[in-house]
Amino acid sequence: MSAHSNVADAAATPAHAQGLGESDSVWFTLLPLLKDPDNPMQTIVRMCEKYGGAIPIKLKDRKIIFLSKPDHFKKVMVTDADNYIKYFDGLRPIFGKSMITIDGALWQKIRTPQQAAFHPKKFEEYLPFLLDAIRSKVDRWEKHAESGKSVEMVEETWTLAADMICRALFDREMPFNPHFVFGCVKTYTDVQNHKAIRDKSQHQEDFSTADTSAADAMKTWGSTPDKVMGASHVDDRQSTLLQMMLDAEADPDFPEFDHQQVVDEMKQYLWAGTETTALTLAWCLYLLSQHPDVKEKVRAEARALCGEDGEPDWEAAQNLTYTKMVIQETMRMYPPIWTFIREAAVEDEIDGVKIAPGDTIAMCSYAVHHNPEYWNDPYEFRPERFSKERMKARAKYSYLPFAAGKRSCIGGALSQLENALALAMLLRKFEPEYVGPVPAQIFPTVTLTPKEGLHFKIRKL
């Protein structure tokens, strides 16, 4: 916890609200900057374009330094990374003490036994299990197509992403109702919900969020990892991520990796590894609905590599080149993690701005992804930007969907494989017709979500 957390309040706060949305958490502090009704990101984007450099802002007694230049990102996340620590106030119920939240030697120690599960040479082993999950989504979409009802796409893609993680990384059937758990997680990922929960808990009121109370949501989320561990094995594989973590727990020389660590790491994967992947696929389907020519090219690539009914083998999966460019361009326009937060541990100076220990550093990937200095016509959807030739010419650290440096995303490459396979398999059989408003409005919570969801009708081709 940072020096900013409201420790005094914690004792008086019911368990389900503890660690949630401290009033001085940066997620609330940023809200006044996100009020533009057309695009809540515009104020920050314009501010970064107009003032460039490092921009110090005082919000509610907190000094926040906005950074949006590639050189700044390099300094904070790569060159001087040890001087800037992770910030997670308000998100403890989601992540517990998992590695995404910790720093230094302990972070390295916790990450090391998990690293091998994310080496690209493991992906071929995961392929059949990813395809199993997509096949069950295809079955579900057959039913949606028959019923003609509209579906909310982030919910659809979240359940797919969760199923893929359970099967490929944990070797477990998904033992929970993903739509119910999705609702529970949303209680926590929507930071504006946190405020309501905090306010109501302070007034001792009863409250409900979506279909469940926040207390039940917390309980459901907290018990999900143990449910997954106890679920049926998919294939009795020995070298899964889950097994690597259980081996670490059983190691008498590794007391830090206790059972709670395994539980919290799983929570982290079931959120950081699913929400982001799901948002990317959902935004991608929205963008494709507005760009039918690009959608046809994705379909054509899938048909060329796997035929009308076949499924991608490992070689085809690696060659979904255009499909992967479409996914990369989606993450440029809608980076699921739109800003990375750090806390300065030492005095420093960035672009002439003095940094004091405790200052908050907000590195806005959305701003650099929409800055015309680095991207021509940044609001245009152009997957060709990600061709091999053009990528060579791009400024380093101007594209950061997965952050950078040693704390960058462990699952970035895996997520792109998951989404490329899903797009190829789903688009060959279905026409997802977007039925919501255009443009779809952004709602920045911890992640970049669609304000009203993304509603589609699924038609069979």
Residues that bind ligand HEM (CB under 6 A): 99-100, 111, 165, 268-269, 272-273, 276-277, 280, 331, 336-337, 340, 401-403, 407, 409-412, 414-415
CB of 204 to ligand HEM, least distance (A): 35
What six digits make up the tokens of 181?
Answer: 């758990």
Nearer residue to ligand HEM within complex by CB, 103 or 142: 103
What six digits make up the tokens of 144?
Answer: 């949606």
Nearer residue to ligand HEM within complex by CB, 144 or 190: 190
Sign of CA dihedral 328, 329, 332, 333: negative
DSSP string, 223-282: HHHHHHHHSPBSS--SS-HHHHHHHHHH-TT-TTS-HHHHHHHHHHHHHHTTHHHHHHHH
CB of 279 to ligand HEM, least distance (A): 7
Interior/surface letters 122-142, b for 16+ CB within 10 angstroms, e for the rest: bbeebbebbbbbbeebbeebe
Nearer residue to ligand HEM within complex by CB, 16 or 407: 407
Nearer residue to ligand HEM within complex by CB, 41 or 197: 41
CB of 409 to ligand HEM, least distance (A): 3
Sign of CA dihedral 165, 167, 168, 171: positive
CB of 268 to ligand HEM, least distance (A): 5
Nearer residue to ligand HEM within complex by CB, 111 or 303: 111
CB of 332 to ligand HEM, least distance (A): 11
* Rounded Cα gap, residues 333 and 343, in angstroms: 26
Nearer residue to ligand HEM within complex by CB, 214 or 344: 344
CB of 101 to ligand HEM, least distance (A): 8
**How far are the Cα atoms of 154, 365, 416, 449 from residue 420, in angstroms, in the given order?**
16, 22, 6, 20
For residue 359, give every residue at least 6 positions away whose Cβ sits within 8 Å of its Cβ, in sequence order, or none.
63, 64, 65, 343, 344
